[in-house]
Amino acid sequence: MKSILVPIDYSNNSRNALTYALEIARVTGAEIILFHAFYPIMTPPASLDTTDVILALEEGKARSLKDFALATRTEIGAADGLLEAYQSIPLRAAARMGGSYEMILEAIEKYKADLVVMGMQGGGPFSQALLGSTTISVMQESKVPILAVPENMPFRYFRKVLFATNLSKLPATADLQPLRDFVATFEASLQVLHLYKNNLQYATFDPHEALEQLSAKLQGITLDFQFDIQEEVAEGIQKYILEQHADLLVLIPQRHNFMERLLDRSVTGKITAHPQVPLLALPASTLTYNQSITNGEKATNLG
């Protein structure tokens, strides 16, 4: 891992995300790129060149962001007794005028980020669909993993990682190297959870081929598999988080339309509405439905 992108809106939520990014960068040796998307308070006068005005605004916002990052790094490092270690972490700051969602995706490409660390706020279905949708939308479109950090949740070392996935929809070509690398970096154990929604799915889906391929992709790490029948997938996942004392949940979000988000049909939406641990979202492109490991009965949708 070479670079970590951290979107910042100056809220306590994004500040907490920076704390996580600092810890991950300390372990991996990565550079942190802080990014701020904004809209101007006023429209520039017609007599001024709009391009020059936007450039000046972006440069000014980037300088303010760098000052914020340096001050926050010092404050967090001093509080945790890691000041020297944090001060050795390279920091860059960038700002762009535009919508958060679009600008974050653009920044991922521009700065070749390997990981994005974002704040995550809980809320009901309407706030997920209308107000708090940026994190979920970025998860669904990003080509790199997104680590979503719950509001006010202090950093805890990732020792136990729970990967909830639908083995019947996980393609044989799925790139799980980012997951394997993340787990290996923190010397964590990985538990793979597959939930059947009903007895019919349990009776018709044979997971053996999927397990063999998954084990081959995740060689070299401590790995365990769990199976259960749960009609409500999000509740089942949250139950396992508590029972297994997981430090991190890993999902592969699926793309949903506006009405599905509005009705809160997404498992990812339900999890982020009531987060118990940080959520690492692998790229949605990991799922390729016409190349699934098995052609058996469809299992539970974990998107």
Same domain, 7 and 116: yes
> How many folded domains does the chain comprise?
2
Same domain, 116 and 167: no
Same domain, 113 and 179: no
Please tell me the distance from the alpha carbon of residue 280 to that of residue 286, in angstroms, as a whole number. Answer: 14
Same domain, 94 and 176: no
* Interval 235-281: pLDDT, tens: 889 999 999 999 999 998 866 544 344 334 456 666 666 678 999 99
Q: 81 in a domain, yes or no?
A: yes
Whether 129 shows a pLDDT value over 70: the answer reads: no
Compute CA distances 52 → 57, 58, 62, 106, whole Å: 9, 10, 15, 21
Q: 125 in a domain, yes or no?
A: no
Q: Give the domain-ending residue among 68, 103, 120.
A: 120
Distance from the Cα of residue 155 to its chain's centroid: 15
* Interval 182-203: pLDDT, tens: 999 999 999 999 988 888 888 8
Q: How confident is the model at residue 44 (pLDDT cuts 50, 70, 90)?
A: low
Q: 132 in a domain, yes or no?
A: no
Same domain, 115 and 168: no
* Interval 71-104: pLDDT, tens: 999 999 999 899 999 999 999 999 999 999 999 9
- What does the mean pLDDT of the chain come to? 84
For residue 124, the model assigns a pLDDT of: 45
Q: 37 in a domain, yes or no?
A: yes
Q: Are 122 and 11 in contact (CB under 8 A)?
A: no
Q: Give the domain-ending residue among 93, 120, 147.
A: 120
Question: Quick one: which of 171, 200, 211 has its CA closest to 299?
Answer: 200
Same domain, 75 and 164: no
Same domain, 104 and 167: no
Q: 135 in a domain, yes or no?
A: no
- Residue 173 sits in a domain whose CATH number is 3.40.50.620
Question: Quick one: which of 151, 49, 52, 62 has its CA closest to 103?
Answer: 62
Q: 297 in a domain, yes or no?
A: no
Q: Give the domain-ending residue among 69, 100, 120.
A: 120
Q: 208 in a domain, yes or no?
A: yes
Same domain, 225 and 108: no
Same domain, 174 and 278: yes
Same domain, 109 and 176: no
For residue 72, the model assigns a pLDDT of: 94
Same domain, 275 and 189: yes
Tell me the residue range of the domain where 53 lies. Answer: 3-120
pTM of the entire predicted model: 0.84
Q: 194 in a domain, yes or no?
A: yes
Same domain, 85 and 170: no
